[in-house]
Homo-oligomer: A and B are copies of this chain.
Amino acid sequence: MAYPIHRYRALAELTDKEELALRELGPIETIRRRGETFQREGDQLSGFHLHNAGWISSSIVLRGGKRLIQKVHLPGDILGTPSMALQTAADTLTCITDAATAFVSYARLRDLYTHAPRVAALFTMAVQIERLSLMDMLAAVGHASARARLSRLLLDLRARLSPLGLVEHDAFDLPLTQEMLGDLLGLTSVHVNRTIRDMEREGLIARSDHRIKLVDVAKLQAISPLPLRHLAFEPAWLPSPI
């Protein structure tokens, strides 16, 4: 299992050299078990991680002990990069399912900036996309109802799981507990439960085991507080290929 680069292909035409640079960023894969935490808030760091397989959460603990899941990561994501501007790790990385990651030392990233400016620019672009995702999440959590937030999350997951081939007829596996969903949406697990059941009763979604199906996508989109965003392809500020 190697680092999936579909998301970079969606941002720019890659030369063979650039593809190689991306794939060789994190040469050694680490297999991790469900529940394993491999980065904790406050840790001293010397690099970050490529996300090759599985589901991984990035969380923060507030004063008072409440946990906030800042993002659920999927293969293709880059993990731990917010911390690269800090003295210690900003977030805790925990495997939701069995997962695979590849470590990338900061030295390697530095080389990217000097030897492969276009790939470095793509890295920046990935960071901006994460930032946009946070902006949307903030908008949703700050100003939308529980069902609106949940609708948005499900649509977002569908969109992100699709290019990985993990969505069939608008249905996908959702390995998150309702408590995780609560921490992700700023709700209690109790209220997540009630909201999910309401939406199920109304025929918006269907569940069986941990598989979820978006039955009425149009209505979910109407409930969602924000539409999905359209990424730019080869934006003007991207350096020329190497």
Contacts and interface: CB of A to CB of B under 8 A. Distances in A.
Contacts of A11: 85
A224 B62 CA distance: 9
A150 B61 CA distance: 19
Contacts of A138: 68, 70, 134, 137-138, 141
B232 A66 contact: no
Contacts of A88: 230
A85 B133 CA distance: 12
Interface stretch (A14-22, A124-132, A160-168, A197-205): A124-132
Contacts of A232: 84-87
Interface stretch (A95-103, A105-113, A171-179, A208-216): A105-113
Interface of A: 11, 46, 60, 62-64, 66, 68, 70, 81-82, 84-88, 90-91, 106-107, 109-110, 113-114, 117-118, 120-121, 123-125, 127-132, 134-139, 141-144, 185-186, 224-227, 229-232, 235-239
Given A60-B135, A84-B232, 13 more contacts: A46-B236, A63-B226, A85-B125, A85-B129, A86-B229, A87-B231, A88-B230, A106-B237, A110-B239, A114-B239, A127-B131, A131-B131, A138-B141
A211 to B, nearest CB: 27
A188 to B, nearest CB: 10
Contacts of A85: 11, 125, 128-129, 132, 231-232, 235
Contact of A117 (B46, B63, B117, B238): B117
Contacts of A124: 120, 123-124, 127
A86 B231 contact: yes
A138 B230 CA distance: 23
Given A85-B125, A120-B113, A137-B138, A66 B107 contact: no
A131 B231 contact: no
Nearest to A70: B135
B82 A142 contact: no
A1 to B, nearest CB: 26
Contact of A128 (B70, B82, B142, B231): B82
B231 A84 contact: no
B130 A121 contact: no
B237 A107 contact: yes
Contacts of A227: 63
